Structure 1
């Protein structure tokens, strides 16, 4: 059911809702992580987004990663989940996001080299030199990646 969140928002307006999101961690050979510059805020985040009704977590992660970053991925494993993050979007929408972080591997495509409706740019970053991030959940996810892979 595409546009599930829009349908819910049409019913409840800006009232707080709980959403499930998935993000993917893709590292290159230089141990840099791929991030997307978001079109809605101009901040950076892991490629990912909200689950549509009927999707699995892995399907959501793969779909959103390709939409946001241009890269076709396969989920390798779940790295963690984050459930105490509350956000207010620029349009006034309020959410509690249950975020799931996955390690992913590239199986096709390439990072976007042009802007889209959701992404201004994609870029590889060193985990010790990150740009301004969207939402505290991304900070927590990137800290976990650093802890798990670069002890």
Structure 2
């Protein structure tokens, strides 16, 4: 039951609020800007990352989701922090409290997406003090934390 875990859970519980484990990564370019992806579902920006599939570690999910969301292959530098105060409301009515492992990551291959995918409209680098509309408060909290820890 590796792939499709979230879909399976949602088929059982519908739109009932659930707790989900997620992983995301902070990738900085040489100018200290952070890579974000414009989501197809909510039409706002988030860190590349996503839900763990059954049997995955947070680190494995971060690497897999980063590639899916951005086109970039990454390796984990280190765990920055666990964020457990986050709620995401999706346009389809799903609600999830997200527990997110935030990693500092380094690019080891791949290229930023050049075309829209099922999950990402586009990717772009942003200055921490000039961010676009974000997915949720947890995303804002993670970016503020990363800015403090990685760029100061």
Question: Secondary structure of the residue that 1:66 maps to in structure 2?
Answer: helix
Which residue in 1 is equivalent to 2:114? Answer: 113
Which residue in 2 is equivalent to 1:45? Answer: 46
Cα offset for 1:84? 1.5
Please give the residue correspondences for 1:20-31 in structure 2 after superposition, counting only pairs within 5 Å. 20-31=21-32
Q: Whole-Å Cα distance in 1 between the matches of residues 57 and 120 of structure 2?
A: 23
Which residue in 2 is equivalent to 1:56? Answer: 57
Give ranges in structure 2 of 5+ residues lacking alignment.
none
Query: Is 2:72 aligned against 1:94?
Result: no
Normalised to the residue count of structure 2, the TM-score between the two structures is 0.97
Q: Whole-Å Cα distance in 1 between the matches of residues 151 and 110 of structure 2?
A: 27
Which residue in 2 is equivalent to 1:131? Answer: 132
Question: Secondary structure of the residue that 2:104 maps to in structure 1?
Answer: strand
CA deviations over 1:89-133 (Å, ceiling 9, x no partner) = 111111110011000001100111111010000001111111000
Q: Whole-Å Cα distance in 2 between the matches of residues 72 and 87 of structure 1?
A: 26
Aligned length: 151
Q: Whole-Å Cα distance in 2 between the matches of residues 56 and 126 of structure 1?
A: 30
Which residue in 1 is equivalent to 2:4? Answer: 3
Normalised to the residue count of structure 1, the TM-score between the two structures is 0.98
Cα offset for 1:87? 2.1
Q: Whole-Å Cα distance in 2 between the matches of residues 28 and 4 of structure 1?
A: 33
Q: Whole-Å Cα distance in 1 between the matches of residues 15 and 34 of structure 2?
A: 33
CA deviations over 1:50-102 (Å, ceiling 9, x no partner) = 00000011100000000000000001110011111122211111111001100
Give ranges in structure 1 of 5+ residues lacking alignment.
none
